[in-house]
Amino acid sequence: MRPKARLSLDGGEALRDAAISGAGLAYLPSYVVNEDIANDRLRVVLSAYAAPPIPICALYPSRRHLASKVRRFIDLVVAEFQTPPP
């Protein structure tokens, strides 16, 4: 089934805002909506149709001389994306 859309947006934040204001359903990554779900601004529907997780990779030249700011960034990304959705 492919429903007709009344509203078509190409940005995650705009889709989230439209869903919060009652424009309809939005299919968004959990990191965009986790806070809104936790604060009851949005709720999960059709959870059986969730997309499989997509791996994220960090590529850098060498671990031997890894800059501390790169290490902190990698740690931040790992912490942010390993948090399970509410």
| Cα separation values, 28 from 12, 42, 60, Å | 7, 11, 29
pLDDT at 36: 96
Q: Is 19 exposed, middle or buried (0-12, 13-18, 19+ CB in 10 A)?
A: buried
Q: What does the pLDDT look like over 16-73, one tens digit per residue?
A: 999 999 998 898 988 899 999 999 999 999 888 888 878 888 888 877 888 899 889 9
Per-residue CA distances from 21 to 16, 50, 80 (Å) = 9, 22, 26
Contact 37, 44 (CB under 8 A): yes
Question: In 3D, which of 82, 78, 76 has the Cα closest to residue 34?
Answer: 82
What pLDDT score does 60 carry?
81
